[in-house]
Amino acid sequence: MALTNGCSFGSVHRKFKPHLLMVLAQIGYTVLYFITEASFNHGLNPHVYVTYRHVVAGVVIFPFAYFLERKVRPKLTFALLLEIFVLSLLGVGLTLNMYFASLRYTSPTFVASMVNTIASLTFLIAVVLRLEVLDLRNPRGMAKILGTFISLAGVMTMTLYKGPPMRSLRHPLVHPQGNDTATHENWLKGSVLTIASCLTWSIWYIMQAFTLKRYPAQLSLTAWMSFVGGAQSAVFTVIIEHKRAAWVISSSIDFWSIIYGGVAVSGLVVFVQLWCTEERGPVFVTMFNPLSTILVAVLAYFVLGEKLFMGSILGAIVVIVGLYMLLWGKDGDQEVNKDSQERTHSTYKEQTGSKIAISPTADKEATRCEP
């Protein structure tokens, strides 16, 4: 009885391990939001932050990647190195710098609404490239489509519809003091940068699935992307930022923001995303992104005393419903893969059994032929 319970717990743990890891990853992104907001308000240059953050991630991840993946890490060819360069450019050097640059010209609300469309963009690209199984005759296939668009509708509701504000339950635990003098000089330029960053972000998630097939070493790939992306970001920052003072870490909040962003997010969270991408695909990973938006809104309401509007609550409920529908549809893919593996395994056993059954007869015939 105890063995049966242990086996059932182990199977449940294996089934829902990717879900738990992605929820923890979104919690990590939520903490990152508040720390980086404080450091940026304090004067830390966002592009310098991206550079330092990924250098820290590379330094921390490298020893683990070197020793733990010595036997599984494939040989690095020039073509694979070029692929990692492009992957780093899409995930770090180009995307994150465009993202932070867009904040100078638009509003955080607009950027948040656009970033949460990455899941839908990734789903569409994955369907076109046939990375995502989509059977419209199957209820689970319809659930994936409906779940994607329902989540998108919920995200847009959270960001574009406010509604009446909720009454504050208590005084804020933290009173943030920052610089809110962001200048929105060119909305068109900021919109182009935001849309471009979302598109490259989606392509980055898709490209991870292809790269992991040729380079199935998540820790090593994380380290490579951190080092190469940090170097790319450094070149970009040098071009647009000519003040040496921008590279100086002037406060403890800036230091800990870089350490946390490098170790927890660019290191651990990216590694978790790569593992989940290999296990469940890029669409599964991106569909958890709206959770961080929900967590940020809730924590900002209770901790910072920011206003929480009815639109955010309604949108969060819609997002959760859509996410549940998509995950239910994705579970169908796992059942299909499991059935396929079981059929392959049973076929192999039948072929092996037939060979074993034939061998004694052959031995007898050989014995009869002996003088």
Alpha-carbon dihedral angle through residues 114, 117, 119, 120, given to the nearest 10 degrees = -160
DSSP codes of every residue in 139-178: HHHHHHHHHHHHHHHHHHHHHH---SBPPP-S--S-----
Residue 328 CB contacts under 8 Å (≥ 6 apart), including other chains: 140, 143, 147
pLDDT score of 355: 45
Residue 271 covered by a domain: yes
The SS3 call for residue 51 is helix
Q: Which residues, 6+ apart, have CB-to-CB distance to 303 below 8 Å?
A: 172, 173, 174
From residue 182, give the alpha-carbon distance in Å to each of 41, 45, 178, 304: 10, 13, 11, 20
Q: Quick one: pLDDT at residue 366?
A: 39
Q: Answer yes or no: is 110 within a domain.
A: yes
Euclidean distance between CA atoms 109 and 120, whole angstroms:
18
Q: How far apart are CA 248 and CA 66, in angstroms?
A: 31
pTM assigned to the model: 0.77
CA 22 to chain centre: 8
Digit-coded pLDDT (tens) for 10-23: 666 677 899 999 99
> Could you tell me if residue 278 is inside a domain?
yes
Which positions of the chain have pLDDT values less than 50? 179-183, 338-349, 354-371
Q: Confirm whether 8 is domain-assigned.
A: no
Helix (H, G, I), strand (E, B) or coil at 7: helix
Task: Give the pLDDT confidence score for residue 347 in this predicted structure.
Answer: 47
State which residues form the domain around 96: 18-169+180-332
**Do the domain assignments include residue 213?**
yes
Q: Which residue in 271, 368, 305 sits closest to 28, CA to CA?
A: 271
Q: Give phi and psi for 303, each to the nearest 5.
A: -95, -50
Question: What single letter denotes the amino acid at residue 119?
Answer: A
Q: How many CB atoms lie within 10 A of CB 192?
A: 15
How many whole angstroms separate alpha carbon 46 and alpha carbon 43?
Answer: 9
Number of domains, the chain: 1
The string of pLDDT tens digits covering residues 94-114 is 999 898 888 777 766 667 667
Contact 108, 36 (CB under 8 A): no
> How confident is the model at residue 159, as a pLDDT?
66
- Distance from C-alpha of 271 to C-alpha of 46, rounded to nearest angstrom: 23
Q: Is residue 105 part of a domain?
A: yes
Helix, coil or strand: residue 165: strand
The conformation of residue 69, written as its DSSP 8-state character, comes to T
Handedness of CA 4, 8, 11, 14 (dihedral sign): negative
Query: Is residue 351 one of the residues assigned to a domain?
Result: no
Residue 10 included in any domain: no
